[in-house]
Structure 1
Amino acid sequence: MIQREVENELLFRVNHFPVTAILGPRQVGKTTLVKILRAVLPKESLYLDLEIPSDLAKLSFDAELFLKNNDNLTVIFDEIHRLPDIFVLLRGLIDQKREAGRFILLGSASPDLLKNSAESLAGRISYVEMHPFHYREIAPANYRDHWLWGGFPLSYLAKNDKSRNLWLTDFLRSYLERDLPQLGLSVSPLLMRRLLMMIAGMQGGVLNYSMLANSLGVSQPTVKNAIDFLEQAFLIRRLQSYFINIGKRLVKSPKIYIRDSGLLHHLLNIKELDSLLGHLVAGGSWEGYIIQEIISLLPPDALPFFYRSQDGSELDLVIEQGLGISLAIEIKLSDSPTISKGNTISLQDLGNPPLLIVTPSANDYALKPNVWVCSIATLSKNMHRFGLNAFN
């Protein structure tokens, strides 16, 4: 059994907030984790899977009476988006008896899609995002396998390539044909699949809604709405540009990534490491893979951006904390990295923050003053050195 890094953080929230919401993509391990943690919750618990008709029926007749009869328990609602009207009731019950650990909500949609929770439970709820396996959770396993296969538990732990590919195919079909429509997306599954394949082909590129809309033969608002849903369902990430008034023209459009590298490679029909390394998307895939690792480490007050000017000066990732950039990061698919003139200019633009260069497997060393090289294996340790590891 692989221990999930988020366990301690989840228990902390349950002990301090009336409602804790565990959000993340489907099949990421939310249900498995909460069932394991039931044994160490501060109170006994009641688990309700709202996709099971018998559990849903318990709340269909008189949900208030049912929950009041169980107010001595921590009630766990799995797939909470199936019962959106319950948030107002939860607020009333919490206000009548305000104590930590009353409810745990599990969902496959962001707070933006669960608007009722954001509005009804403001001040009463704490959100925890659960990601697919991070490399540091499965280390010292081979990072190449993790990069190629991704971090979804049933993909990473599959016994063979055939079962892994079948799982990814079913996972994607379920999201496109069932989950996204349930969340309110009206775009056809076929169009969504084509959109995801186009996004995969431009992994790490600057998002151009007009180009995507023209290629798909739909309007820009349709593409933007579809991308909004994909992001809020935790399948893609739009990394925003860092913009400050420094007297030069900056790229302001976001960069776009498929979050999970295994899903990315499945969309591109990449099944072997040699095929990946020879593919045009290899650099963007490695960049997205490392960005996912880094963002999953960040404390709540640290915000990730990329930096790029119109003249080509850029940095893959800059971390804003407080009033400025606390760390810049370059991601290299090479164990002999160098920094470009554009990197140096960008660092100067941003006040010369420290620069960390992340490689596949180089030893840690100082490349030059205020510039350090590390590997994916030592990334967590190095992020901690800069005060940017929420779990250490």
Structure 2
Amino acid sequence: MNYIPRTLEKHIKLLASKFPVVTLTGPRQSGKSTLVRHAFPEKPYISCEDPDIRLFASQDPRGFLKTYPNAVIDEAQKVPEIFSYIQTKVDLDDEPGQYILTGSHDFLLFEKISQSLAGRTAVLRLLPFSLQEIHGFCNFKNPDEYLFNGFYPRVYKMNIMPYDFYSSYIQTYIERDVRLIKNISDLGQFQLLLKMCAGRVGQMLNLSSLGNECGISHTTVKSWISILEASYIIFLLKPHHVNFSKRLVKMPKLYFYDTGLAAFLLGINSVEQIQTHYNKGGLFESFIVSNIIKKMLNAGQENRCYFWRDKNGNEIDCLVENGEQLLPIEIKSGKTVTSDYFKGVDYYRRIAGEKASHPFIIYGGDHEQMRSNAHVIPWKNVDKILF
């Protein structure tokens, strides 16, 4: 499979024409290196994964930047010494697009950016393929196939079975990345927490419950959840703060950026097992919400997704802030539209009034419907949501 165009490419080129440094973060294997090498073929590509390069940059940062005055520096957080030197150089040269930096760890990378490159770099995030990016190349007819395979580029580029890819991914992630972010003595417990999180996809995050099941403290769970967030394994969908005089829940909901990884952690070995799995609805929600977030990030926007639920159980699966307006989105994995699909958005529109935009219902079927109370769209057209 040849290079699959990434939606973010246009925006990263635009920002490179305006900022001296552009920083691209995202999970390991999301396609960052491929994207920057394709977007900036004229720049030397330097990988700090290479021990010789890493040694050169750390021992002689001035000489390193003199050798590479205009370059793509991959996994830049591995050589934190160069950030302050990059700051000095770009301030002197005052030219856009001097360096494109990539990194896989928010904790490590943004600590250095805030110290040295604040105001000098644009920051973008690249997640694995969106449905829009990959759909034309593999064209699965059933959403369950995407839930099972996930969206990591190497699965498609090398035609790797999901089990083989994700087992290797988890091993590398835990043995290398987690140790870099934080010194965790019991990696087995960390992996158990990761599996427990997969079992709670689409559910409220209860730190105490997770801690009890894993045999670790509430504080430790909170710390490890932050590691999973920083390395783009999970994201927490926060409850929206506008309550319309109703009591709201305050806990976030837990999702995985990639459903293929979640499915692997759940022990799902085939597409058929997805169809009958107890948490297929949660996986489908994760699939849709992560694609909405990808659309925002690929346009260079911040994540503006929330959910809404009151103490009586009335809920909106995804609520997108769009200026003064709030866009309600209900997500249903079923293939047949029923009257129950509209209860949540109808209730929310009644209490939100003019603040609520015309809602969307995204479901597991194939037909689009323009209803008076909601726009019903099939899963494969999730990119049609406008905000």
Partner residue, 2:52 = 54
Inter-CA distance 302–234: structure 2 relative to 1 (3 Å threshold): closer
Any conservation in 1 of the 2:57–2:82 contact (CA below 8 Å)?
A: no
Partner residue, 1:304 = 305
Inter-CA distance 365–187: structure 2 relative to 1 (3 Å threshold): farther
Q: Distance in 2 between matches of 1:184 and 1:194?
A: 17
Indicate the SS of the match to 1:96.
helix
Partner residue, 1:237 = 235
**Superposition map of 1:93-242 within 5 A:** 93-110=89-106, 114-140=110-136, 141-142=139-140, 143-159=143-159, 161=161, 164-186=162-184, 188-242=186-240
How far apart are residue 145 of structure 1 and its match? Answer: 2.5
Any conservation in 2 of the 1:22–1:30 contact (CA below 8 Å)?
A: yes
Any conservation in 2 of the 1:336–1:362 contact (CA below 8 Å)?
A: no
Indicate the SS of the match to 1:45.
coil
Partner residue, 2:319 = 318
How far apart are residue 340 of structure 1 and its match? Answer: 4.5
**1:57-93, CA deviations, whole angstroms, 9 ceiling, x for partnerless residues?**
321332113313443xx22111112112322221111
Normalised to the residue count of structure 2, the TM-score between the two structures is 0.91
Quick one: which of 359, 364, 367 aligns to 2:363? 359
Q: Distance in 2 between matches of 1:91 and 1:191?
A: 40
Between Structure 1 and Structure 2, the one with more helix by share is 2
Any conservation in 1 of the 2:61–2:81 contact (CA below 8 Å)?
A: no
How far apart are residue 108 of structure 1 and its match? Answer: 0.5
Partner residue, 1:344 = 346
Indicate the SS of the match to 1:139.
helix
How far apart are residue 302 of structure 1 and its match? Answer: 6.0
Q: Distance in 2 between matches of 1:199 and 1:350?
A: 32
Normalised to the residue count of structure 1, the TM-score between the two structures is 0.90
Inter-CA distance 61–226: structure 2 relative to 1 (3 Å threshold): same
Partner residue, 1:330 = 330
Inter-CA distance 187–6: structure 2 relative to 1 (3 Å threshold): farther
Indicate the SS of the match to 2:106.
coil
Inter-CA distance 302–59: structure 2 relative to 1 (3 Å threshold): closer
Q: Distance in 1 between matches of 2:33 and 2:332?
A: 35
Q: Distance in 1 between matches of 2:282 and 2:349?
A: 22
2:269 pairs with 1:271: yes
How far apart are residue 176 of structure 1 and its match? Answer: 0.8
Q: Distance in 2 between matches of 1:364 and 1:303?
A: 25
How far apart are residue 292 of structure 1 and its match? Answer: 0.7
Q: Distance in 2 between matches of 1:17 and 1:111?
A: 22
**1:273-293, CA deviations, whole angstroms, 9 ceiling, x for partnerless residues?**
221110111000000001111
What amino acid sits opposite 1:103 in the alignment? Answer: Y
Any conservation in 2 of the 1:305–1:317 contact (CA below 8 Å)?
A: yes
**1:367-390, CA deviations, whole angstroms, 9 ceiling, x for partnerless residues?**
223x1001122221x22xx3x2xx
Structure 2 gaps of 5+ residues are: none
Q: Distance in 1 between matches of 2:239 and 2:227?
A: 20
Inter-CA distance 169–273: structure 2 relative to 1 (3 Å threshold): same
How far apart are residue 269 of structure 1 and its match? Answer: 1.2
How far apart are residue 155 of structure 1 and its match? Answer: 2.2
The alignment covers a number of residue pairs equal to: 374
Any conservation in 2 of the 1:313–1:343 contact (CA below 8 Å)?
A: no
Partner residue, 1:24 = 26
How far apart are residue 112 of structure 1 and its match? Answer: 7.2
How far apart are residue 118 of structure 1 and its match? Answer: 2.4
What amino acid sits opposite 2:7 in the alignment? Answer: E
Q: Percent identity?
A: 30
Q: Which stretch shows the higher mean deviation, 106-115 or 315-324?
A: 106-115
Any conservation in 2 of the 1:88–1:120 contact (CA below 8 Å)?
A: yes
Q: Distance in 2 between matches of 1:187 and 1:253?
A: 28
What amino acid sits opposite 2:37 in the alignment? Answer: K
Inter-CA distance 113–311: structure 2 relative to 1 (3 Å threshold): farther
Q: Distance in 2 between matches of 1:105 and 1:57?
A: 18
